[in-house]
Structure 1
């Protein structure tokens, strides 16, 4: 009998919540990591016979990254046929051009790199070590951004973290040929981050009008619909063949 265990970070809201909610109806065990728990997700998982484990952690804090990794993988069930890790947690980070990213911004920048990059490296490494002896189907999906592939003024930190995420995915794929890894750009989603972007100061983010227009024209992706599309992509037979990908390339 097949058995799937899925791990999702940043599961409390937005795309992460949508991915976790749909996985709760599909997999045998769901492990979530975020700063806040979601009781509705526990109930949904229970209704569908899915064992849900939540780890409360701020993945922008190095100590909590290490603790979450230890907590998850010290008790991971190694009897599954398939393991899925979705590194979804992320932040826009400090926004601003060179003239505002100097004094007193180092901690904010480190916070963004911890969440967007460091947590992914630590959790992915632990995940690969833990699951390799199982011989199971191992899939890792890192939620990236087109910002990591196209420079945008004011997004120096965000673009840099997502570019680093893309490159780390490529490196990890070389190191772990037994696993399938993809860094996926999900497009522009109707989430709290988008609301934050529309409220940015034009001096910090000159491209604000593009995102305001996308919202006004109703062109932002719905998180639930996008999660469904991403999970279909995750289960494709050719998943992992293109390690740097964009969900908008798929119907």
Structure 2
């Protein structure tokens, strides 16, 4: 049996990816602070199993507890397990020297520590049970270049990329059937973009560029990007540790 676990599934790319897995007939486990009732209704209509786990991904303790429980439930019957580490936060948006320490810690935990902890748990369980896990860590082009005001977001996404590449190398060298990749979704019309556009020019020098993306209709819909993501992870061939860009998939 196959399962899809999607973090940050209450809205945006996560909700769209979960919906796409449901349309493919794959049981979905959503993980976020709040549940998306539309996903539950869609799964009921499609006759597909759906479970929601409430979890604050900024809490390492909650992540360990909730995902250990998910692993215990899923790997009793799993053949293929698809894990989409999608949840992410952009804040703090500000120059170094003006950063909010609380937001810094939250960003690091949600964007970096949680995907690492989740990947570690699932790969450990897959090795124990002989199951196959496909992990997609949602990254960003910001992980490949410096952007004023985004020092923490850029840093966590760069670290996610390196974690993905290193873990992919380890899986390849061990002969594992499991895979881990990163997926860069480009610019989408999501709540994160709303947060970005509300920044001040002092905190984020490129804010007007992002405002123009919205005004010019340059933002892709989460549904379009999610379709490319789910199609990618369901494909027969994936390169372990590779960072895939949505622009090359559409």
Question: So what's the TM-score if we normalise by structure 1?
Answer: 0.93
For residue 78 of structure 1, report the CA deviation from its aligned partner. Answer: 3.3
For residue 197 of structure 1, report the CA deviation from its aligned partner. Answer: 0.7
Partner of 1:140, secondary structure, is strand
Q: Within 5 Å, give how 1:43-62 maps onto structure 2.
A: 43-62=41-60
Partner of 1:173: 168
Q: How many residue pairs align between the two structures?
A: 246
The counterpart of 1:111, out of the listed 106, 109, 119, is 106
Q: Distance in 2 between matches of 1:238 and 1:225?
A: 21
Q: Distance in 2 between matches of 1:181 and 1:166?
A: 11
Q: Distance in 2 between matches of 1:61 and 1:207?
A: 31
For residue 242 of structure 1, report the CA deviation from its aligned partner. Answer: 5.8
For residue 216 of structure 1, report the CA deviation from its aligned partner. Answer: 0.9
For residue 133 of structure 1, report the CA deviation from its aligned partner. Answer: 3.8
For residue 98 of structure 1, report the CA deviation from its aligned partner. Answer: 2.0
- Residue 205 (1) aligns with residue 185 (2): no
Q: RMSD of the alignment, in Å?
A: 1.5
Partner of 2:22: 24
Partner of 1:187: 186
For residue 241 of structure 1, report the CA deviation from its aligned partner. Answer: 4.6
Work out whether residues 11 and 32 of structure 1, in 8 Å CA contact, stay in contact via their aligned partners in 2: yes
Q: Distance in 1 between matches of 2:80 and 2:143?
A: 29
Question: So what's the TM-score if we normalise by structure 2?
Answer: 0.93
Work out whether residues 80 and 136 of structure 1, in 8 Å CA contact, stay in contact via their aligned partners in 2: yes
Partner of 1:63: 61
* Unmatched tracts of structure 1, length 5 or more: none
* 1:147–1:241 Cα change, 3 Å: same
Question: Which stretch shifts more, 73-82 or 225-234?
Answer: 73-82
Deviation digits for residues 72-93 of structure 1 (CA, Å, limit 9, x no counterpart)? 1122243333110000000002
Q: Distance in 1 between matches of 2:26 and 2:12?
A: 23
Partner of 1:82: 80
Partner of 1:151: 146
* 1:5–1:27 Cα change, 3 Å: farther
Which structure shows the higher helix fraction?
2
Work out whether residues 139 and 181 of structure 1, in 8 Å CA contact, stay in contact via their aligned partners in 2: yes
Deviation digits for residues 78-122 of structure 1 (CA, Å, limit 9, x no counterpart)? 333311000000000201112312xxx222101100000111011
- Residue 162 (1) aligns with residue 157 (2): yes
Partner of 1:35: 33
